[in-house]
Chains A and B, each alone.
Chain A
Amino acid sequence: MKDESDTALRWGSTRGLVLVWLALLVLLALTVGSSYVPLHGWNATINIAIAAVKAALVAIFFMRLRASGALVRLIAASGVIWALILIGLSLVDELTRPS
């Protein structure tokens, strides 16, 4: 049926969405597990990196960026870049404070 395949193309198949969700759960287990292992100050960095991968999975598959055009992807990326600028500038004070 044409409608069925259209739906699968727009939202992804049920199987694919469940697989992405399972991947998110694996990453959650990884981030919780790694936080109990001493990694010489790398714990926070690894946790943030895993969070970034999880956020990318959600944005690409659940928020349909995969099936979106270049314009929508560009706008999504600009949102991320602005958020990074705001957070980065907030951290400037703490990071440049003489210890």
Chain B
Amino acid sequence: MVLTLARLTTRWSGWLLAATCLLGALFLGLKLFEYSDDFERHLVPWRDFALGGADTGGARLFFLMYFVTTGAHAVHLLVGLVLVGVMFGGVVTGRLSRKDPETIELTGLYWHLVDIVWIFLFPLLYLVSRV
């Protein structure tokens, strides 16, 4: 995303925005695949939860947190995809140009904020208890 701003003067910018959109959509697609797997394995705490036993309370809390945080992140990513898509349209049609990088900059700031959220969520949710 930020590369787009550095290369805004060139015809690369449109392709870079398109690539950003594609990679974001790929992430969301993988997330949907992951959610459907969670549903099949009964890992949704409010729907016939599979993990019983002594640790069921902690497991419920973990998966509740998992769905709330990844869900909130996915919604933000969806908003980001729409924004980057609009920027792509603007650059391709020439409505956005080097004269007003502000619009694209704000989109970039938002995109990277969502990025930072995932940087923390990934180790907290996916790398715990691997040892």
Chain A residues with a Cβ under 8 A of chain B: 3-4, 7-8, 10-14, 17-18, 31-32, 35-39, 43-44, 47-48, 50-51, 54-55, 58-59, 61-64
Contact = CB atoms under 8 A, between A and B. Distances in A.
Of the listed residues B7, B98, B112, B119, the one surrounded by the most CB atoms of chain A closer than 10 A to its CB is: B119
B108 interface: yes
Of the listed residues B98, B115, B128, the one surrounded by the most CB atoms of chain A closer than 10 A to its CB is: B115
B95 to A, nearest CB: 20
A61 B130 CA distance: 31
Contacts, number: 76
A58 B112 contact: yes
Given A43-B131, A58-B116, A62-B112, A14 B123 contact: no
Interface string B99-131: 000000100110011011001101110011011
Interface residues of B, number: 25
B6 A12 contact: yes
A14 B105 CA distance: 16
